Amino acid sequence: MKPAPMQRLAALLVIWLAACAPTRPANPALWEMRGPHGQHGWLLGTMHALPPHLGWRTGKIRAALAASDELMVEAAGIADASEPRRIFLAMGRAAAPVPPELRIDPAHRPALAALIARSGQDPAQLAGLKTWALALTLGQVAQRGGDDLDAANGADRALLADHGAARVVELEGVTAQFQQFKRLPEATQRRLLGAVLAGQANAGAELAMLARAWARGDVAAMERTTREGLLADPELRAALFTTRNQAWAGPISASLKAGHHPFVAVGAAHMLGPDGLVALLSARGYRVTRVE
């Protein structure tokens, strides 16, 4: 059955408004890497979720992409949103259900109940998740709202869809990302869940604030996040931040030494601080200079 004239008009109006929505300018931090033998590449710290119509591809970012022959990302599998979800469910299913409230300090139970209610999910289904998977699930719920952030607008996904490089190189992959959490001892997984619940009231606002800092290239504000929240826990920091940065520095350096010109695009926090990629690659003898 054909849509009525008014329905067609409404649909066309929605499309027209979306096409005409103003693009907001952004200037995320971009670094250039140069080695002693002519090696040349770039580092872009990304946000995995952004508001729509954010014009973050500056002239310098476009030029760097055009000059690169490799796009290096944390995981290429995020291009298809269904694939990470499938892997997550396969890896995150517990052998036997454990009620979520039994995995946390009783003081966090009101926050847990509130987040479960916000999620709209059946508590019995959540009980069937491993603790790390439960923490990630509720963490996503806690971060909802605030500046209309959406993973569909994330810089990583946009680059995978349109990068111009000859090939895409995964530094980690979706399965390995989840394995970082799966390998955590149960006690640490429960601390992760507790940290999500403790910070749930401000999680959405803090993520929105981080996205705004990223858009204006405020690396000082972003660097502070590498010492707060989950990353203030030494064991979580080692597993989710420092160990991964050290693992990534190797293939980035190998790509440069092989004569490639990589455009490295990973989460912005991974660039920053004494344990970040900028510092680690500088220590390997590359001149890493911020150019945007």
Q: What is the pLDDT of residues 231-285, one digit of tens each?
A: 889 999 999 999 999 999 999 999 999 999 999 999 999 999 999 999 999 999 9
Tokens 């300090």 -> residue: 105
Residue 9 forms part of a structural domain: no
Least-confidence region, from 19-28, 35-44, 106-115, 124-133? 19-28
Examine the pLDDT at 17 and tell me if it is beyond 80.
no
Residue 18 forms part of a structural domain: no
Number of domains composing the chain: 1
What is the percent of the chain with per-residue pLDDT over 90, rounded to a whole number?
A: 71
Q: How far apart are CA 124 and CA 138, in angstroms?
A: 14
As given in the structure block, the two tokens for residue 161 are 């869809």
Predicted local confidence at residue 200, as pLDDT: 86
Predicted local confidence at residue 149, as pLDDT: 84
Residue 48 forms part of a structural domain: yes
Examine the pLDDT at 20 and tell me if it is beyond 60.
no
Predicted local confidence at residue 22, as pLDDT: 55
Full residue range of the structural domain in which residue 48 is found: 27-290
Please list, in sequence order, all residues whose beta carbon lies within 8 angstroms of the beta carbon of residue 20, skipping any fewer than 6 positions away. Answer: none
Examine the pLDDT at 41 and tell me if it is beyond 70.
yes
Residue 215 forms part of a structural domain: yes
Residue 199 forms part of a structural domain: yes
Residue 12 forms part of a structural domain: no
Torsions phi, psi of 149, nearest 5? -75, 140
Query: Which neighbouring-strand residues pair with 264?
Result: 43, 72
CB atoms within 10 A of CB 176: 14
Note the pLDDT tens digit of each residue in 50-82. 988 899 999 999 999 999 999 999 999 887 778
Average pLDDT (208-224) is: 92
Residue 15 forms part of a structural domain: no
Rg (the chain; Cα; Å): 21
Examine the pLDDT at 6 and tell me if it is beyond 50.
no
Residue 76 forms part of a structural domain: yes
Predicted local confidence at residue 165, as pLDDT: 74
Predicted local confidence at residue 143, as pLDDT: 86
Examine the pLDDT at 148 and tell me if it is beyond 70.
yes
Residue 139: pLDDT band by 50, 70, 90 thresholds? very high
Predicted local confidence at residue 230, as pLDDT: 82
Predicted local confidence at residue 145, as pLDDT: 65
**Mean pLDDT of the residues in the chain:** 88
